[in-house]
Amino acid sequence: MSTTRAGIRWIRADLRARKGQATLTVLVVAGIVAALIAAVTLLEDGTNPWRGLFAQTEGAHVWFYTKDNTAQLVATGQIDGVTSVAGPYRSAPVTVVQDGKKEPAALRALPAAPPRVAHPVVTEGRWLDTAEPGGVVVERSYARALRLRIGAPFTIIALSGERHSLYVRGIADSAEQGFYPEWTPGLAWVLPETLDRVEPMLGRSQWVTGLRLTDAESAQVVSQRVVVMLDDELQRLYTWREIRAAMELDNRLLGTLLALFGVVGLIAAALALANAAGGRVLGQLRDLATLKSMGFTKGQIALLLLVEHGALGLLGIALGTLAGWGGTVAVLGTTSVAPMPVLAILAGTALVVLAAVGLPAWRGGRTPPIPAAPALPPRGHLSRLARLALLVRLPPALVLGTRDAFTRRVPAFLTAFGLAVPMMMITIGLGVWATLDNFAGHPEQVGQHAALHVGPGKLTAAEAERHIRADRDVRAFYPGTDVNALAPGEGRSVRVRAIGGSAEPYPFPVVEGRQYAEPGEAVAGQGLLDLLGVKIGDRVRLTVGGSPLIVRIVGRAIEPDSDGEVLSVGLDSLAAKDTVPPEFYALALKPGADPAEVAARLLTESGESLDVQIVVNPADRLAVIRVVIVALIAVLTLIGLANLLTASALGLRDHAVDLAVLKAMGLTPRQVMATLVTGTGLLVVLGVAAGTAAGASVVTGLIDLQGHTSGVGAGIARPPSAMTLAVAVLVAVGTALAVALIPARRAARAQVPVTSR
Partner 1 sequence: MSDPALKAVNLVKVYSGGAVPVHAVRGVDLQVEPGEFVAVMGPSGSGKSTLVHMLGGLDTRTSGEIWVGGTRADTLSESAWALLRRKKIGFVFQFFNLVASMTVADNVELPALLGGASPREARERREHLLGALNLTDRADASPARLSGGEQQRVALARALANKPSVLLADEPTGNLDSRNTRDVLRLLGEVHRDGQTIVMVTHDARVAGLADRVVALFDGEVVDDGRITRRRTGTAGAVIDLR
Pairing assessment for the beta strands 186-190 and 135-139 based on DSSP bridges: antiparallel
Q: Which stretch binds partner 1 (CB under 8 A): 35-43, 247-255, 282-290, 477-485?
A: 282-290
Helices 409-441 and 249-283 sit at what angle, rounded to 10 degrees?
160
Shortest distance in whole angstroms from residue 43 CB to partner 1:
43
Task: Out of 5, 469, 472, 577, name the contact with partner 1 by CB under 8 A.
Answer: 5
Shortest distance in whole angstroms from residue 664 CB to partner 1:
21
For residue 287, state whether it binds partner 1 (rule: CB under 8 A): yes
Shortest distance in whole angstroms from residue 6 CB to partner 1:
4
CB of 474 or CB of 649, closer to partner 1: 649
CB proximity list for 305: less than 8 A, separation 6 or greater: 277, 281, 357, 360, 361, 364, 365
Q: Which residues pair with 498 in a beta bridge?
A: 481, 569
Site mask for partner 1 (CB under 8 A), range 449-488, x = bound: ----------------------------------------
Shortest distance in whole angstroms from residue 378 CB to partner 1:
17
CB of 726 or CB of 754, closer to partner 1: 754
What is the distance in angstroms between the CA of the first residue and the CA of the last residue of the chain?
33
The number of beta carbons lying within 10 Å of the beta carbon of residue 661 is: 12
Cα separation, 558 vs 623, whole angstroms: 19
For residue 368, state whether it binds partner 1 (rule: CB under 8 A): yes
CB of 289 or CB of 647, closer to partner 1: 289
Rounded to 5 degrees, what are φ and ψ at 63? -125, 140
Shortest distance in whole angstroms from residue 369 CB to partner 1:
4
For residue 572, state whether it binds partner 1 (rule: CB under 8 A): no
Helix intervals (H) in 589-721: 595-605, 618-621, 623-664, 669-709
For residue 747, state whether it binds partner 1 (rule: CB under 8 A): no
For residue 734, state whether it binds partner 1 (rule: CB under 8 A): no
Pairing assessment for the beta strands 547-557 and 521-524 based on DSSP bridges: parallel
Shortest distance in whole angstroms from residue 360 CB to partner 1:
17
Which residues 110-129 are close enough to bind partner 1 by CB under 8 A? none
Task: Out of 296, 478, 516, 584, name the contact with partner 1 by CB under 8 A.
Answer: 296
For residue 300, state whether it binds partner 1 (rule: CB under 8 A): yes
The three-point CA angle 495-498-502 to 5° equals 140
Task: Out of 51, 67, 241, 298, name the contact with partner 1 by CB under 8 A.
Answer: 298
Q: What is the DSSP letter of 378?
A: P
Shortest distance in whole angstroms from residue 18 CB to partner 1:
8
CB proximity list for 340: less than 8 A, separation 6 or greater: none
Task: Out of 111, 374, 441, 537, name the contact with partner 1 by CB under 8 A.
Answer: 374
Q: Which stretch binds partner 1 (CB under 8 A): 9-17, 307-315, 418-426, 467-475?
A: 9-17
For residue 20, state whether it binds partner 1 (rule: CB under 8 A): no
Distances (CA, A) of 19 to 16, 22, 274, 645: 5, 5, 17, 12
- What DSSP element (H or E) covers 63? strand 62-66
Shortest distance in whole angstroms from residue 294 CB to partner 1:
5
Helix intervals (H) in 295-338: 298-327
Q: Which stretch binds partner 1 (CB under 8 A): 283-291, 305-313, 318-326, 394-402?
A: 283-291
CB of 56 or CB of 300, closer to partner 1: 300
CB proximity list for 455: less than 8 A, separation 6 or greater: 464, 583, 584, 585, 610, 611, 612, 613
For residue 286, state whether it binds partner 1 (rule: CB under 8 A): yes
Cα separation, 356 vs 625, whole angstroms: 30
| Residue 518: Cβ-neighbour burial (10 angstroms; 0-12, 13-18, 19+) | middle
Hey, what amino acid is at 16? R
Nearest Cα neighbor of 375 from 282, 275, 278 is 282
CB of 123 or CB of 293, closer to partner 1: 293
Q: Which stretch binds partner 1 (CB under 8 A): 147-155, 184-192, 289-297, 601-609?
A: 289-297
For residue 3, state whether it binds partner 1 (rule: CB under 8 A): yes
CB of 139 or CB of 654, closer to partner 1: 654
CB of 147 or CB of 757, closer to partner 1: 757
For residue 754, state whether it binds partner 1 (rule: CB under 8 A): no
Task: Out of 295, 489, 607, 734, name the contact with partner 1 by CB under 8 A.
Answer: 295
Name the CA dihedral angle for 367, 371, 376, 378, rounded to a multiple of 10 degrees: -30
- Residues forming contacts to partner 1 in the complex (CB under 8 A) are 1-3, 5-6, 9-10, 13-14, 16-18, 286-287, 289-300, 368-371, 373-374, 756-757
